[in-house]
Amino acid sequence: MPMNLEVPKKFLPLVGQAHQVAEEIFRPVSRKYDQEEHAYPRELDMLAALLDGMNDGSDMGGGAGAGGVRRQEQSDEIRNGSNMSTALGIVELCWGDVGLLLSMPRQGLGNSAIASVANDEQLKRFDGKWAAMAITEPEAGSDSAAIRTTAEYDERTGEYILNGEKIYVTSGERADLVVVWATLDRSLGRAAIKSFVVERSNPGMKLDRLEHKLGIRASDTAAFILDDCRVPRENLLGSPEVDVKRGFAGVMQTFDNTRPLVAAMAVGLTRACLEQTQELLAEAGVEVDYDKPAQSQSAAAAEYLAMEADFEAARLLTMQATWMADNSKPNSLHASYAKAKAGRTCVDVALRCVRLCGSRGFGEELLLEKWARDGKILDIFEGTQQIQLLIIARQLLGKSSAELR
Give the H/E segment covering residue 210: strand 205-210
- Exposure string for 33-53, b = 16+ CB within 10 A, e = fewer: bbeebeeebeebeebbeebbe
Q: How many whole angstroms separate alpha carbon 42 and alpha carbon 356?
A: 35
Q: Is 364 a catalytic residue?
A: no
Q: How many whole angstroms separate alpha carbon 209 and alpha carbon 308?
A: 39
Q: Do the beta carbons of residue 182 and residue 147 sit within 8 Å?
A: yes
Q: How many whole angstroms separate alpha carbon 347 and alpha carbon 290?
A: 24
- Measured CA to CA in angstroms, residue 376 lies from 2, 87, 226, 248, 342 at distances of 36, 19, 29, 28, 11
Q: How many whole angstroms separate alpha carbon 52 and alpha carbon 26?
A: 18
Q: How many whole angstroms separate alpha carbon 310 and alpha carbon 252?
A: 28
Q: Is 330 exposed, middle or buried (0-12, 13-18, 19+ CB in 10 A)?
A: exposed
Select which of 137, 303, 308, 382 is catalytic: 382
Query: For the chain, what percentages of helix, strand and coil (3-state, to nearest 5) are there?
Result: 50, 15, 35
Question: DSSP labels for 144-178?
Answer: GGG---EEEEETTTTEEEEEEEEEEEETTTT-SEE
Residue 157: count other Cβ atoms within 10 Å of its Cβ: 11
Q: How many whole angstroms separate alpha carbon 118 and alpha carbon 183?
A: 18
Give the H/E segment covering residue 193: strand 193-199
Active site residues per annotation: 382
